[in-house]
Structure 1
Amino acid sequence: MCKLFYLKYMNKEDSIYFNVDAGLIDRLGRELVGRAETAVSELIKNAYDADAKMVEVDFIDTQEKGGTLVIRDDGVGMTLDQLRNGFMTISSTDKIHNPKSLRYNRSKAGKKGIGRFATQRLGEKLIIITQTLESDDAIKLTVNWDDYKIDTALTSVENKIEFIPKARKEGTTLIIENLRESWSEADLRRVYRYVSDLLQPDYISDRSKELGLAINSDEFFKVVFRQISDNQPKIIADTNKMLLSKALAVIEGYVDSSQDGYCMVTSNSLDLSDDIIAIYNSEKTPKFHNLGEVHFKVYYFIYQREKYYADGISKTELSNIQKIANEQGGIRLYRNGFRVVPYGESNNDWLHIDKRYYNESGTNAPFGNRNVFGFVEIIDSNGNLFEETASREGLIENYAFRELTTFLHKALMAGRDRIRYAVEKLKKEVYQNNPSSTNQNEPPKTTFEKLEDLFKNVDDLVNNSSSDKSVATQNLKQSTQKIVKELKGDFQSIIDELGMLRVLAGLGLTIGEFTHEVVQFTPSIMGDLSVLGNQNLNDNGIQSLENLKRTIHLFTSYTSYFNATVSANVSRELKPQDVEKVVSQFRKVIQADLEKLNIELEIETYGYDLVSLPMHSSEWTSILFNLYTNAKKAIRRKSTDGKLKIVVGKEGKYVYLEFADNGDGIPVNNKARIFDAFFTTSSPVGFDASDDEKLTGTGLGLKIVKDIIQTYGGSIDIIDPETGYATCFKIELPLATNKQREEYEQYDV
């Protein structure tokens, strides 16, 4: 908004000057301040900027329209010049020239100067009474907003100024009469919560204290709300106190002064005290160049699962928190100490948490706005990175804002994956825990063995004679109840896994259909490339054609390989697999990718007849591609020239395969968890990633690999790598028997 000046007409025929219609005031009030709670918060911000310690807000007879709002602060007050050049100058530059308050050196709340329009938005008449320590009198200004009508010059509207005796040493009182809206007690509680959340919590980071930003535990700034009806005051307070200390887990993170992003998850209940997780902007640009001094903290809850909370929480407490979360859950944003709406408001899903995660299946760790109470702090004192819109309803969505949402999305996704992994592990422990067992070293029974025990117990209960129905019967009942409880846990795990498998099966069908269609286009593509090669191209054209040929060759190698694998797997026939040939074929498929990424692959073979027991050909494809994909990510994270080594041989009755890479390695504390469902060290995908991209790096890959191998009586472990390598997986599978090999003498791998 352009700064408006009072312009005196001059007697020059060659000049013309702007004038302003008084109706602009009404438009600015309605358009700059959209909501009543925003208007009240703007006035409280002004009191904060005036170094007030206490702000009293009285709603007098406001159950109907026409009531009165009084906002009284004990700040430094205003002189006549400050009133004229500040409040009475539209779009005053005072906060630009003086970004810090005089007495307490507070960072001022804003630069828009729309507090005066907030009073116009709220009521028809404004009375300002202000005084400073040095003044002998108080100044009283009366503004009738209805005088600012269209077709009236702004400079022709008079506002009465009076000098009256001081009622107190210093401070400012705003009296807004003839309120344009009614205010019920529920409305007041809503505004109170809004204003209570206006100042950012002090538990996000220590930077706000160091920089002198607003925090809601500041003993030098208090806000009191009262509802006064028939001269009877009633304190408005928020009776809902969030029990953040009871959270199941806490996700927190930051972007440091070097523009690097990090996050971590802590939870006593889930046994999570994880090391710091690096968050990358993108593969090509890992740093968040438009961010600095960003912090966040998110408190996570799972409802109706009080047994997950090791620190203790009752059903009633958890139920109350859930009720509060239904209305107040979400992630709020604070800029320079003050809240920015509408982020974190009810039904505001600015980080697309509900859209992406709340209704997903296959996990017992739901992740939605109703599961979190979150707070984001951005420090941008000069306003160079983040700028609020003119209405104070959100930030302008520039590069910095987009990087912020990218960082938060990826950090929350990384935190969610850690929590999901831990909950999956805890859930199994809860259901499978058997404290009454007399032999703690006894191996756990399979689901089928438990079912057999259940049938036996039921049979014993049915066939017991009436004389036996005493202690023995009671013991049978207790044993049956224990088995049923364990089976519930087994079946729940199966249901969760089926949910995961449905997603994978759907993706498999999509890949199968895609590769089938692509193969049909290959002859046409190669024909067109041949025609282009016969054209009279310049050097740049020839180079571009060669690059295109290499790219298409890599693409068709992958699609042909997957198409053949899918086709071979349709029959579901198991065949012995020559592991040496499997690896050789795999190398041909990824060779172009290896060259493109400058990765060296070495293959060593020891022995002969390295044939595994009968398997699906697609299963070896899944195993090798999972290991290769993980290795590429580890090499990329280390930013080094890649080296891979595959060793194939046999030991006793087993064929083995070792897969090593020189990436960034696996931390010692992660090695025991790397094969667990939902555990991942991969960097989260982008904010707008596709469903297929989201599926990668979810912590399912190595679990699926382990499940495949264990199904055939094999094993996969992390072993010490050779010199020059950081990680090495060793797979062992039973060798094919002579009978199996005879049955498939003509097998083709």
Structure 2
Amino acid sequence: MTQEDDLYFNIDSRLLLQLGEKLVTNRAVALAELVKNSYDADATQVRVSLKNIKNTGGTIIVEDNGSGMLLPAFRNTWMRIATIDKEKNPISQKYKRQKAGEKGIGRFACRRISKRLRIKSIAITEDGHKEELSAFFDWTAFSPGSDVDKIPVKYTTKLVDDKIRTGTILILEDTKDSWDGWDIRRLRNELTDLISPTTFKDGQEFEEATGKYDPGFNIDFECPEFPTKEERLEETFLRSAWAKLSGNVDENGIATYEIKVLNKVINYITKNHTRIEAFQNLRNAQLEIYFFVYLSNFFKDSDWGLRDAEEIGQSRGGIKVYSDMFRVFGYGEKGDDWLKVDYDRGRSIGGVDEEVSDYLEKKDDRPGLRLFKNHALFGHLKFVKNSNPMLEITVNRERLVDNVAFEELRKFVRLGVDFATVLYSNEVTKKMKLEDQKKEVEEEARKKAEQELRKKAEAARIIAEEQAKKAEEERKKAEEKAKKADLDRKRAEEELKKAEEERRKSEIERRKAEEEQRKKVDELTKKHLIEALRKEEEYIKVEGEARKKEKERRREEEEIRSKIDRERKKSEEIRLQEIEKLIKTEDELRNLRDEEFKRKEEKLERETAQLRVLASTGTLVLILNHELRALVDAMEEMNNNFLSIIKKMPEEEQLKYNEIQEPFSNRIEMVKELGSLLGLTVGVEGREKREWIILPIVESIFHPFNWYFSKSGVDYYINMPNNLRTRKMYRSELVSVLINLMSNSAKAVIGMNDRHIEVKGFEENDYVHIWFLDSGRGLDKSLWEEVFEPFISYSEPDLKFGVGTGLGLKIVRDIINACGGSVQFINPPEGWKTCVEVMLPKRE
């Protein structure tokens, strides 16, 4: 007996798993698909709200003011997998927009984010009234093994007040993932950059005139738990760029470029280049790039400081790609090098594309050494999808298909970067030549000034010596006069002695006469007595004259000595004045030498400081980082091959091997982030002291270990203001301090029942305070100072963070002390076992 009938395919619910969780892995891409649906529904405003999303089980709401859906459209589009509605109706009804959706599966991205979905949509019916449609999806009900068309989706419809506006609200309940501040900032930036900057101009107003214009499309974002500001790049920032490049590929594939210098190195330049050979697979594409040079003179009149600009470049730099008005994810993100500019610059390749090498003014120059890297590029490329059918977006919405059309797209952009690099290299070469000439002139002037000062000093020395010699001669003459006066004094003294001797003799004779008078009282005795008295009076008169001469001699001697002292003081003053002139001249010479020495010493100190930080580990880390990139590339290639093999397996085996492959993919992402952390530690940012914002650096250190912490059951919290900054220090020093303290906290809590870590930051009493708190084993108070000694460690060994060497806290204290701060264990707040406090002086 023969039986004949028709068979039909059944759809297993596992297909929704593949279209949701497996196909769309990036949460931002998933939300972008929902935002695109709002755009296709002629919405002018869409709001994305995240609530209670620090942990799993939160809620995300996507609300727009579009045209909404009625039940027939909901049944035939939303409820139909892989619908071709947008292919049949590629233009929206109200604003005549080119619809963004293609595959008819974007709405299943909801499954990637949450376990349940509620829809409320209000639309206008054919008779002009408004109707509300509500539906509820429990994605957990669509379990593998069940038929999609056998699982009911409850819905209701009802008429509502005509004053209520149209639109759709999607409520994604019971979110599957937790979000932190870093995730929210990244999501906000990606949604901000979702729409092409050339589609709608900011500040443009429109009047209602359906079908004649498009009033624009704005995305609002709110997350009360992480109230970060929108980080849209403003025109004031872009005006600080060195130059702006505009590029265009016309409908015939001919590429043209124009570059305008905004802030000159030497000259303001406007230069054009037209590519002779047409692109075969690229049409109707526009390019705009701003080139940044991170030197202080480019930001001196800007609202943006050099340090802030460099941080923006590291996080937001790159060339983004847009298909029509919406961004193609994966290009222009942090760490993406789709143009291979970082790769070529890192290999020190000196050449550029031959098409623009003729613009080189110095033929032996190597412009590739000055190739602009991704962090110095801010721009976007937009292509018209209908004109470029070979530029296809991958099914997971994260890249373009790698084919000949994509290679031409990359060639178009890279040629523009090489064109700008050649012109910038010409300007830098001119500037270096002018600076060398200036240095030669300055050095010649310095030498000439030094020679003049030496001549003046020598002339002053000769004059001083001559005046000192003259003063010495005057001193000798004065000494001769003093000697002569001394001889006159001695003669006067001898005459005085003789007069004294005569007086004594006269006194003796007088006494003899008196004795004779007493013996002979007669006239003769009287006569002799009178004679003796007369002689005595003569002797007294001679003695008075001698005394008068002595007084005159002493007066003359005093006058001579006063005159000698005045001459000596005058000569000494002249000599001191000349010595002061000589000392002043020598001080000027010494100051010139000291300033030159100080400049060289400061430069040597900066270089020595960098060498100290990098000497022992820098080279090894750079080699490790390079090899790690190669390893990640190999692992990704293995992972892609593994996925290809899995897809060829029977379905019942694919699920088992997918469970093996998913952790492997997660580990690849963790290795990538660890590689980024190595780049932070030894990157160019560490070559000069700056004031660092602490929060993003703390987040960048914890983020690579998210997978390991999640696996180990460790919860961490970062509680500090966005504007908390250090004083000037090397970034590598700050990263080293934070890594050591984070790893100590991690080793302390792993294996404990209560596993919590918190990093807290605040300002108090002219100091910046950073606390590392953990709920781990704690440390006896008697050991709080001992653990800062080298080779002393009480931490438990860990598979991820290794065995403690006893040097971590010693390094932390040395770095903090060198910055004028302190680090110590303090009594932890209630609920915590350990608290390490780092105190740094406020920034100057």
User: TM (normalized to structure 1)?
Assistant: 0.54
Return the match for 2:424 from 391, 401, 419. Answer: 419
Q: In the alignment, which residue of structure 2 is the partner of 1:307?
A: 297
Cα offsets for 1:382-441 (capped at 9, x unmatched) = 66131100000111112211111112222211111111111222344456559xxxxxxx
User: What letter matches 1:306 in structure 2?
Assistant: S
Aligned to 2:375: 370
**What do residues 277-334 of structure 1 show as CA deviations (whole Å, max 9, x unaligned)?**
1235xxxxx110211111111111111x22356x8347x6121011011111111111
Q: Contact 1:291–1:400 at 8 Å: present in 2 too?
A: yes
The answer on whether the counterparts of 1:133 and 1:169 sit within 8 Å (CA) in structure 2 is no
Structure 1 unmatched ranges of 5 or more: 1-10, 210-217, 281-285, 435-443, 490-749
Preserved CA contact (<8 Å) 1:358 1:366: no
* 2:395 corresponding residue in structure 1: 390
Q: Is 1:151 the counterpart of 2:145 in the alignment?
A: yes
Query: Does the Cα contact within 8 Å between 1:279 and 1:410 map onto a contact in 2?
Result: no
Give deviations 1:513-558, integer Å, cap 9, x for gaps: xxxxxxxxxxxxxxxxxxxxxxxxxxxxxxxxxxxxxxxxxxxxxx
C-alpha distance in 1 between matches for 2:427 and 2:200: 24
Aligned to 2:310: 322
> SS of 1:421's equivalent?
helix
Partners of 2:38 and 2:64 within 8 A in 1: yes
1:136 Cα offset (Å)? 3.9
- Match status 1:339 vs 2:327: yes
1:605-629, Cα deviation, whole Å (9 max, x unpaired): xxxxxxxxxxxxxxxxxxxxxxxxx
Amino acid at match of 2:41: A
Tell me the secondary structure at the aligned position of residue 252 of structure 1. Answer: strand
In the alignment, which residue of structure 2 is the partner of 1:197?
A: 193
2:136, 2:154 within 8 Å by CA — same for their partners in 1?
A: yes
Partner residue in 2 for 1:83: 74
Deviation by residue 1:673-704 (Cα, 9 ceiling, x = unmatched) = xxxxxxxxxxxxxxxxxxxxxxxxxxxxxxxx
Does the C-alpha gap of structure 1 residues 12 and 393 become closer, same or farther in structure 2, counting only changes over 3 Å?
Answer: farther
Shift of 1:351: 0.5
Q: What is residue 467 of structure 1 aligned with on the other side?
A: 581
Among 115, 120, 123, the alignment partner of 1:124 is: 115
Question: 5 Å matches for 1:8-27?
Answer: 13-27=4-18
Distance of 2:452 and 2:289 partners within structure 1: 48
Q: Quick one: which of 273, 278, 287 aligns to 2:274?
A: 278
Tell which has more relative contact order, 1 or 2 (C-alpha 8 A, sep 6+).
Answer: 1
Q: When you count helix as a share of all residues, which structure comes out higher?
A: 2
Q: CA 1:374 to 1:469, structure 2 compared with 1: closer, same or farther past 3 Å?
A: farther
**Aligned counterpart in structure 2 of residue 237 of structure 1, from 216, 229, 248:** 229
Q: Which residue of 1 aligns with 2:95?
A: 104
**CA separation of 1:109 and 1:277: change in aligned 2, threshold 3 A:** same
Rounded Cα–Cα distance in structure 2 between residues aligned with 1:275 and 1:468: 59
| Separation in structure 2 between the aligned mates of residue 228 and residue 287 of structure 1, nearest angstrom | 51
Aligned partner of 2:404 in structure 1 is: 399
CA RMSD in angstroms comes to 3.7
How many Å separate the matches in 2 of 1:461 and 1:345?
Answer: 65
Cα deviation, residue 446, structure 1:
10
Residue from 222, 226, 230 that aligns with 2:222: 226
5+ residue gaps, structure 2: 206-213, 351-365, 462-579, 604-844
Match for 1:151: what amino acid?
G
Give, in whole Å, the separation in 2 of the partners of 1:392 and 1:69.
21
Determine the structure 2 residue equivalent to 1:163.
Answer: 157
Which aligned pairs between 1:444-483 and structure 2 lie closer than 5 A? Answer: 445=441, 453=448, 456=451, 466-468=580-582, 470=584
CA distance in structure 1 between the aligned counterparts of 2:32 and 2:63, rounded to whole angstroms: 13
CA–CA distance in 1 between the matches of 2:388 and 2:279?
17
Which secondary structure state, in structure 2, belongs to the residue aligned with residue 264 of structure 1?
Answer: strand
Name which of 44, 48, 54 aligns with 1:53: 44
Distance 1:159 1:273, change over 3 A: same
SS in 2 for 1:44: helix
Is 1:139 the counterpart of 2:138 in the alignment?
A: no
**1:188 to 2:158 alignment:** no
CA distance in 1, matches of 2:73, 2:453: 88
1:157 alignment partner AA: I
Alignment of structure 1 residues 350-749 onto 2, 5 Å: 350-357=338-345, 360=348, 365=370, 367-381=372-386, 384-429=389-434, 432=437, 445=441, 453=448, 456=451, 466-468=580-582, 470=584
- Could you say if the C-alpha distance between residues 476 and 457 of structure 1 is closer, same or farther in structure 2, counting changes exceeding 3 Å? farther
User: Structure 1 residue 247: deviation in Å?
Assistant: 0.7
Equivalent-residue separation in structure 2 for 1:462 and 1:324 (angstroms)? 55
Distance 1:418 1:278 in 2: 15
Give the CA deviation at 1:472. 9.3
Change (3 A) 1:458 1:345: farther
The AA in structure 1 aligned to 2:296 is E
Counterpart code for 1:307: N
Q: Deviations over 1:5-64 (max 9, x none)?
A: xxxxxx972533211111111121122211111111111111111111111111121111
> In the TM superposition, what is the alpha-carbon distance from 1:482 to its structure 2 partner?
9.8
CA–CA separation in structure 1 for the residues paired with 2:411 and 2:223: 43
Pick from 233, 257, 264: which aligns with 1:263? 257
- Conserved? CA contact 2:200–2:217, under 8 Å: no
> What whole-Å deviation, never above 9, does each CA across 1:556-614 have from its counterpart, x for those lacking one?
xxxxxxxxxxxxxxxxxxxxxxxxxxxxxxxxxxxxxxxxxxxxxxxxxxxxxxxxxxx
Distance 1:481 1:365 in 2: 32
Compared CA separation, residues 308 and 433, structure 1 to 2 (3 A): farther
Shift in Å, 1:164: 3.9
Secondary structure in 2 matching 1:367: coil
Summarize deviations over 1:163-193 as a string: whole Å, max 9, x none: 1453733110101111111123332221111
Q: Distance in 1 between matches of 2:433 and 2:599?
A: 12
Contact 2:189 2:231 in 1 (8 A): no
Find the structure with the greater CA-based Rg: 2
Instruction: Say if 1:258 and 1:292, in contact at 8 Å, map to a contact too.
Output: yes
CA contact (8 A) 2:453 2:589 kept: no
**Contact conserved, 2:320 with 2:331, CA < 8 A, in 1?**
yes
- CA shift, 1:367, in A, is 1.6
- Cα distance 1:116–1:56, how it changes in 2: closer, same or farther (>3 A)? same
Q: Is 1:63 the equivalent of 2:51?
A: no
Bigger fraction of residues in strand: 1
Instruction: Say if 1:302 and 1:366, in contact at 8 Å, map to a contact too.
Output: no
Amino acid at match of 1:179: T
Deviation at 1:72, TM superposition (A): 0.8
C-alpha separation in 1, matches of 2:388 and 2:201? 20
The 1:159/1:203 distance shift into structure 2, 3 A limit, reads closer
TM-score (norm 2): 0.48
CA distance in structure 2 between the aligned counterparts of 1:330 and 1:56, rounded to whole angstroms: 27
Q: Distance in 1 between matches of 2:452 and 2:327?
A: 62
Q: Secondary structure at the match of 1:105?
A: coil
Query: What letter is aligned with 1:118?
Result: A
Q: Secondary structure at the match of 2:305?
A: helix
